[in-house]
Every structure is written in C-alpha cells, then in structure tokens.
A and B are shown apart, each in its own frame.
Chain A
Amino acid sequence: MIDLKSISKIYGQKKVVNDVSVSIAKGKVTSFIGPNGAGKSTLLSMVTRLLDQDSGDVLLEGENILQAPSDKLAKKIAILKQSNNLDLKITVRELISFGRFPYSRGRLTQKDHEIIDEAISYMELEQFEERYIDELSGGQRQRVYIAMTIAQDTEYIFLDEPLNNLDMKHSVQIMQILRRLVRERNKTIIIVIHDINFASCYSDNIVAMKDGEVVISGSKDDVIRKEILEDIYEMDINIECIYGQQICVYFDEHQDASVDDFIEDQAQVQIRA
C-alpha cells in the first residue's frame, strides 16, 4: 500500500500539485485520469522519487520513500516515464537486461537470464531480441521498455502513459498484460492514462485529478459517472453499458452547425445505402 500525505509541488507561483492525499491499494490496477496539466505525471514522478516534492510525504508500506536507500527501493518500485528516446547503440535484450541491475549490479546470473527471457516472452519480443532499439517502431520500443520494467520484478509498477505510440491492438495487449501481472503475480500497477475507456475497462480503482487536486478517488464504479467526468473534462459525456463495460461516449452537444450538417449528411448517405 502506498500513502500520499498532502503532497504539493509549486513551480514559481503555480501549484502544479496541490495538497494531494491518496491511498493506493495493493494488488490492484489504479489509473490516474484527468485533463492535460492536471498534475498526474508530476505526482507520479514525486511518488517514485524522480522529483522532490515541496511538501508532504510518500509512505511505501508505512516507510517514507525518501529515507529508503535508492538501490533497495529499485527492488520495490519501478517507474517508466513517457518519453523514452535513447541515442545509444543498444540491443533489445541488453536494454531489458538493465531491469536486473538492482539485483545483480550489472553482473547477470543464470537466474537473471531466465527472468529476462521470461519478460521477453511476456511482451512477445522474441523476434526482436538482437535488434538495436533505434531500428524499432515507437510501439515496439514502448513494449521493450515495459519488458524492462517487468524484468525489474518489483511489487509496484508505475507507468506514465504506457499506451503512448501504441495502436489499438497493442494498447489492448498491454492492458491485458498489466491485468495478467496483477492476477498471476499479485503486482500493484499504477498508470497515468488519457483514454478514459481504457481506464474504465481495465482498472480496479481510478483517481481523477484536475488543476493539481484530486477530484475523486475510488473504485471504477464510483468514478466513471456522468456528473463526475463532465465536471473534470468540462464537456458532455454519456456513459453506456456495452458488454458489461461502462463506455464513455464523448462529444460536445453544443457543436458547430456546419459540423452537425456534415454528420446528418453522412447519416443520410448511410441510410440510402
């Protein structure tokens, strides 16, 4: 369990994160949602010690993470940030091997190699193993980084927009793998995600943020509600239940007349056909 106790971050005059207190349950997928600039990524960076907070504490199972030695912490929590461009001559397997650094300090054992193999097959990267990462597409590279995080084998995994650069198929694949990690290995997964339907379909808990503050934090069913989402995103959102999943249908009802005409025309054409 991770407890955030009144965390704040101030840049100049602006409070990017303002007095946030949230608990993150163990063994669940927790999603952070909210519009751009809500402070989700900043919060994630502070929880994972990449960024110092101006006030407040982060408690990892009761222990303040800033007091824990960094190398021990690397066996407990893993963080993957959104922009990952490396200008290094490094192969997929070598990069994934870095996930084992907290355990072996660069001298890989037989067990490390087994875990690396496992992470590679988990992310279905066998065919790319010996390729250099600058030869891969953005989506493939993203999967390599996630594999590295899996190889790190931590109880807590933080992912900042893991679906960036991914098409639908691979987005679904990643989310299913995250669920599998929770189910099979009892991992705790915390993601920042923009697509609220992915958040709705694959998370246990959701934390919604706006303007640096937590609007609501609770189970998926508590958060995926019309009034709440409309308030956060300041637009019209309808929630439909499709195949037992709550799906948000979002489009602005007060639209440009010419756009409305266009949509109507399209509908006419379809009816005629």
Chain B
Amino acid sequence: MLDRKNNRLLLILTAITLLIGGFYILYQLNFNILYYQLPSRLNRVATMLIVGTAIAVSTVIFQTITKNRILTPSIMGLDSVYLFIQTLIVFIVGTQSSLLTNGFINYVISMLALVAFTVLVFRYLFKLTGSHVFLLLLIGIILGTFFSSLSSFMQMLINPDDFLILQSSMFASFNAINESLIWITGTIVLLLLIIVLRDFHSLDVIALGRDHAINLGINYDRKVSQLLLIIAVLVSVSTALVGPIMFLGLLVVNLAHQIFKTFKHRYLLIGSTLISMITLLIGQMLTQYVFKQAIEISVIINLVGGVYFIILMLKESRR
C-alpha cells in the first residue's frame, strides 16, 4: 500500500527530473552555435547527474550508519582536506602552475590525496578505535579543523590576487568541466553504486543498529568499514570534480525522508538521487539565467540548505 504510493512518487520525481533536464538542455538553444552549446550543456547535466548521485548516495548511507539525520559526510573532514590541497598548491608553486590551471592534473592530485587521506585515516583508525563510528567522526572533525586552520593560515600569507583565484575553487561550480574527468568520475561512481545497490537490503538492516544487524547475520564491523570507504571515495571524486558541495546532501536526503516516509533504502537512495538532480538543475538555471553567473551554484545551495537546516533543527527540538 505504502510501497505503491512510494513507487508512484518515484515515477513523478523521475518525470520532473527529465522535464527539467530537458528544459535546461533545450532552453534558448541557439542553432548557430549548436556544436558548442549542446555539448557544453550535456556535459553540465552529466556532471550534475554524477555529483548529485554521489552526494545523495553517500549522505543516505552515512546517515544510516550514524543513525543521525543532521550529519553529512563532510564531518569526515574531506572538504577541508580538499581546500588544504588547493591552498597548498597556490602557496608553494603559485597560481600559474599547471597543478592548478590544468583541470586534469588538479583532479588527479586532489582525488589521490583525498582517497589516501580517507584510506589512511578511516581504514586504519576504524580498527584502532575498536569500530566505534562516533569516535572516528570526532577524529574526523578534529582533523578537518586542523586542515582548515592550516589553509586559512596559508591564505593569509599569499598575495590577494592569488587568493582571488584560489577562492574560485572554494565553491562548487559546474562550468567548464573537463570531459574526460566526467567519464572517469562517472565510471567510479557507477561502479560504487552497483556495489551499494547489489546489497541495499543490508542497509535496511544496518539502520536498525549494530545489535539487531549482528543478530540478523550482518558482519557489521566489516560492512560498516566497507561502506565508510565507499562514502569517502564518492565524496572525494565528486569534490575533486566540482568542489565542495556537501550541504546538498543534507538538503536532499531530508527532503527524501519527508517525501517518502519510509526506512527502505530502495526509495531513499533513488529518491534522494532524483531530488538532488532536480535541486542541482534548478540551482544551475538560477545561476546561469537569473544571476547571470554572478554567483556560484554552491552559494545558492548553501543558502537554501542552511535555511532548511535551521528549520529542521527547530522542528527536531520541538519534538
């Protein structure tokens, strides 16, 4: 009964996504510059699809593991590490270096550093902390603060012109993304998505908590450390591709919870992915057509997400 309603909602969301996506691709299409305009728009939509999926899926899983609806994977400190890497590049080799200007090289460096950080910190510490997820997150917060302090220290020292260039990487942007990077990221995200979806039933069980999950035959500690790694890679690749945009996850996953009113990950995963696509498309259209590229999309998303976050907290505290 409830499932049928949720299936219908999924169909409606899919339809809306396709409609808005189609509208974005076709709106004011100029046939004289079709060969330029169309690929560029398709690239953006593909990027949004990849990033939207990565963020939504990683946030859903993260909230399931932590049993907390106001956390996002950004608490693991990955955003700060990303900014630290960008700042370090500018600080050491300057803004003219190909490490910063060449999108491909920058992507590879950022991604490798983020994945290395994650594997090192989370794989190793997960064992060290005796599989206590919250202790792990606490260390994540501390490391995140550490790296962002280091970044702001270096940002004080570089000259203001360099800082302006650096600033552009502090906000996510879907403009001018290298096509080969879209393919690489897309493949990684797709592979991880298959791994997650092949076993999405066990996510439902993990949501019941550690004791119940073990009772029902889940190898909890191994499964959770595997999922944390998947989350970290998803966040890493999407951050390396467009920049930090984690607030999106908080927004879309909570909207998905409100729309679907279920614990089933089939609906939560697909639903929040669709919602994040819709949010990104609308955000992108606003930046492109309403604000004429004066602000970045992540500013809009952070604004909407922030307001939603406050509403959410007020509502939770009233319960």
Which residues of chain A have a CB within 8 Å of any CB of chain B? 48-50, 70-75, 78-81, 86-91, 94, 98-99, 101-102, 105-107, 130, 152
Given A81-B211, A101-B201: A88 in contact with B216 (beta carbons within 8 A): no
Partner of B219, one of A70, A87, A130: A70
CB distance from B195 to the nearest CB of A (A): 16
Are A86 and B262 in contact, CB atoms less than 8 angstroms apart? Answer: no
Q: When the two chains form their complex, are residues A90 and B217 in contact, meaning their CB atoms are under 8 A apart?
A: no
Chain B stretch 167-217: residues in CB contact (< 8 A) with chain A: 201-202, 204-205, 207-212, 214-217
Are B208 and A70 touching (Cβ within 8 A)? no
In the complex, 16 of the A-B residue pairs with CB atoms within 8 angstroms, ordered by the A residue number, are: A70-B217, A71-B218, A72-B217, A73-B217, A74-B215, A86-B209, A88-B208, A90-B262, A98-B208, A101-B201, A101-B205, A102-B216, A102-B217, A106-B201, A130-B1, A152-B215
- Residues of A with C-beta under 8 A to B209: 86
- Whether A71 touches B217, Cβ cut-off 8 Å, given contacts A98-B205, A106-B201, is yes
Taking a contact as CB atoms under 8 Å apart, the answer to whether B204 and A152 are in contact is no
Q: Which residue of A lies closest to B265 (CB)?
A: A106
Query: Given the complex, which residues of B lie within 8 Å of A49, measured CB to CB?
Result: 214
Distance A87 CA – B319 CA, assembled complex (angstroms): 12
**B134 proximal to A (CB < 8 A):** no
Known: A73-B217, A74-B215, A86-B209. A105 touches B201 (CB 8 A): yes
Contact partners of A107 in chain B: CB under 8 A:
201
Q: Name the residue of chain B whose CB is nearest to the CB of A81.
A: B211
Residues of the A chain whose Cβ atoms lie less than 8 Å from the Cβ of B69: 87
Complex: chain B residue closest to A100, CB-CB: B216
Within 8 Å of chain A (Cβ to Cβ): is B261? yes
Most chain B Cβ neighbours within 10 Å, of A70, A80, A87: A70
The reply to whether the CB of B263 lies closer than 8 angstroms to some CB of chain A is yes
User: Smallest Cβ distance from B133 to chain A, in angstroms?
Assistant: 16
Query: A78 to B217, alpha carbons, bound, how many Å?
Result: 10
CA distance A25 to B219 in the complex (A): 28
State whether A86 and B208 are in contact (beta carbons under 8 Å apart), knowing that A101-B201, A105-B201, A107-B201 are contacts in the complex: yes
